[in-house]
Every structure is written in structure tokens, then in C-alpha cells.
Amino acid sequence: MKKISDYEGKNILVLGAGKSGTNAAKTLLKLGATVTLNDAKPENELEGLDELESLGITVVAGGHPDTILNAQFDLLVKNPGIPYDNPVVQRALANHTKIITEVELAYQITDAEIIAVTGSNGKTTTTTMIAKILNEEREKGTAYAAGNIGIPATQVAMNATKDDTIVMELSSFMLLGIDQLHPHVAVLTNIFENHLDYHKTRDNYVNAKMRITMNQTADDYFVVNFDNEEWQNLSQRSKAQVIPFSRTADITKGAYENNGKLYYNDEFIMNADDIKVPGKQNVENALAAIAVAKVMGKSNLAITNVLETFTGVKHRTQFVLEADGRRYYNDSKATDIEATQMALEGFDKPIVLLAGGLDRGYTFERLVPQFKDHVKGAVLFGETADLLADALQQAGITNFKKVTDVKAAVPVAYSMSDAGDIILLSPANASWDQYPNFEVRGDQFIEAVEQFTQTKGV
């Protein structure tokens, strides 16, 4: 950890007492700052409160009182998910107080090389693949995955050395709060229409994503999905060397698929079918990881050792179990239409789909082609059950039922299936109408599958 002096004697507010917030607060304290940590949750819902206060961090819980709103702070470190219309953030903006997110602080204190990954879908899987490949045949240091993947970046940065690599998964929310963050390699997996409730417009969302490359120079690399003309055009905004990857475009530079084989600059790497995790989206994720690996000087053996054995990240087309000829997959992270499209296209066997969730004001006609080609039946739940039913009927599918939640969906899905089928949770919606997050939704699906198959003896 670099002992920077930027924050010595500064009065700093950390807004949000989750993992990233508490680690940011501890980091700033070590850097000589006076730190106040504020969270809207009551004290009894905050973890590690006694430890934080014993370190000398002032914790203000249960809301945003006038003592916070009217105080003068030199810096606000904001939890990425807290919107900019929050009263504390609004007051900071009015006072021209600088606002950053925890990943920016992590960059400022680390000696490690940074690889950054963003995109609407595939971030976590790609980040994990890259870190695993970089750890193959490694003689010095370690590659750590951190950031939006669930491990606070400052927690890793505090202990990382110049021999290490931090592979940061960065959300659009995180990227709005960066200033100096300068990855040697940046990755854009894709950009769809997402988080418009937060960003208000698609342009704002795209611009937030593109901040990942704003500090890069000609000595750096920007790895970009070339399967879409918009993404190709976005790559021109970067000053870095553009390394394309593509599953469908006609390219011979970068990482690409051709007739079921994966190449890098005309060099054969592996067969696409040898990737352990299923689905076209994971071929794309693998191509992104291959591009980064080759830029970083990794061997083909290091790449194939990982991609031929890596079984996926939890909640992302995660294989749960096989019973009575049915294979169950948990894709709870599919919180938008595009993710579910990719999941459905990734299987060549009939699918019974479990879907539904938070109503964000859109309909599901875009799923009709995938429903026609891949879905034999569906079990629907949540606020969007009726909207999904409309799309299924447009696809000519009448074999669907509505249930209360994910747990109730599992036995119904089994009753619709036959041996050889796939039973897939891929909701195409956020979870917040019924669950605190997609992880809880996925965990309840896994638990229901395990209980149902054990009880039924299948």
C-alpha cells in the first residue's frame, strides 16, 4: 500500500457502510484522515460497528441528520449504488465537494498493475477468467479479482505489491466516481440498455461505461467486443491500443471465433466447444479473457488450462445438478433481457424457463425469437409475470404457469419437463420486487432444487 499524503488531516465523509464503505473508511484512517461513516440503516443493522468506532471512525447511522448535511467535508466517498439525488450527495454537489467511489481510492494506494473490466453482461465471469489465467504459470505475485465482483478493491489494494495484478470488475456506478484510475488493460464486454432508472438516459449510461478508458494512453490496451457496430465506434473514443474480440464479426486481429475455433491474431488457441461453461455468451467472455491474456504475455497452455476446466461463477448460468435426466441451471444474474437471450441461446436442448421479477416499464417482445427456438414451457413469477406471458403467447407457447416465487416454480417446472430437458432460472428481470438481490433469488432456487430432487428421489 502506498503511503500517500493526499488525505492527511482531511475531513472525509464515507456514505454507505457496506463492505466497500467500511474498507474505504479504514483505508482513509490509515492515510491520516478524520473519517465519518454515514448510513441510512439503523445501528443494529450495521456489521462491525464497535470495531469501526474503536478505530476512531465516527459512525452516524439511521439517516442523514443535519450534523451530516451541514458539515463541511473535504471529500465524499460514495457507495456506488447510492443515487446522486440522495440529499447528502446533493449537498456535496452544491458545496463543490469532490465525490469519488472506493475503487478510485484503491487505485491511488496500490502499486499493483490494474486490469479493469466493465460491460452490461459478462463482467464477473470475464474478470474471474482473466484472474485465473494470469495466475497460471505465474512466478511472482498473484492476480486478485476485486471490485464489483464482491471483494472491496481497497481491501485487496492495501496488501497488493508491485508484483501483483488487480483485476477490477467495475460497474457504471463505480465508474462515475473515478478520477485518476488508469488501467493498463481495460475491457468492455458489451453495452445494452440497463440501469436507466439510475442514469436516466442511455447516453449517460454509455458515457459512464466509457470512463473506464478515459485515462488510458497509447501504452495501454482497450479490449472491446466488436460484435456490434456501436461498440466498434465506441472503441474510437479511446487513446489506448484497441484489441477487438468477436464471436460473429469478420476480423483477423485480436481474439475471434471462426468455424467453432478460437484464434488470437490467426494463432489457433482452442475449440469453442472445449470451454467448460455453456453458452455463446461464455464464448464471448472467453474471447475477452484470451485477448487480455495474450496482451499480458500468457501462454496458450495457461489459457486452455483455465478455460477447459472453469465451471462458471455462481448465479451466472451456474450448473446446479442433474437428476432424473434433467439438468438445472441457476442464471439469477440475468437481470435484463439480453442476458436471458444469451442464456437461452446457449443450450441446444429443450428448456423449461423460470422467469420474472421487477417491473421496470418495458415489455418482452425481444425474447420472442429465443422463446420460439428454445423454450418448451415456462414458470412465471413476480411483477412481470403477465408481461412475460404475453411474449410467450406471441411465440406460440401456451405451456406456462404463474406461481408465487422461485421456490414454488421448481416443482412446477419439473412437471413440465422430460428427461433430457434443461430447467433454467434466467429471470430477465431484477429481483427487487421479491428479493433483496439476485444472489438471494439464486440461492433460494438452488435450495429448492436440492430439496425437491432429494424429496422426490430423483
Q: Answer positive or negative: Cα dihedral of 218, 123, 428, 419.
A: positive
Q: Give me the amino acid identity at 95.
A: N
Q: Which residues are annotated as a binding site?
A: 119-125
Q: Which amino acid is at 148?
A: N
Does the predicted model carry a pTM greater than 0.85?
no
In 3D, which of 290, 311, 272, 297 has the Cα closest to residue 137? Answer: 297
pLDDT of amino acid 311: 83
Q: Is 389 helix (H, G, I), strand (E, B) or coil?
A: helix
Go through the domains of the chain in sequence order and give each one's CATH number: 11-100 (3.40.50.720), 103-307 (3.40.1190.10), 318-453 (3.90.190.20)
Q: Which residues does the chain have with pLDDT short of 70?
A: 456-458
- Binding-site residue numbers for ATP are 119-125
Q: Nearest CA to 276 among 319, 245, 314? A: 319
User: Which pLDDT score, from 0 to 100, does residue 456 have?
Assistant: 67
CB 41 within 8 A of CB 18: no
Q: Dump the DSSP string for 262-315.
A: EEETTEEEEEGGG-SS-SHHHHHHHHHHHHHHHHTT--HHHHHHHHTT----TT
Cell 436507466, located at residue: 196
364: left (phi > 0), else alpha (psi -120 to 50), else beta? alpha
Distance in angstroms (rounded) separating the CA atoms of residues 17 and 36: 10
Write the pLDDT tens digit of every residue in 293-337. Answer: 999 999 999 999 999 999 888 888 888 999 999 999 999 999 999
Packing angle between helix 406-416 and helix 438-456, nearest 10 degrees? 50
Contact in structure between 288 and 126 (CB atoms under 8 Å): yes
What distance in Å separates the CA atoms of residue 355 and residue 332, rounded to the nearest whole number? 9
Would you say 21 and 79 are in contact if contact means Cβ atoms under 8 Å apart? Answer: yes
Residue 9 host element (H or E): none
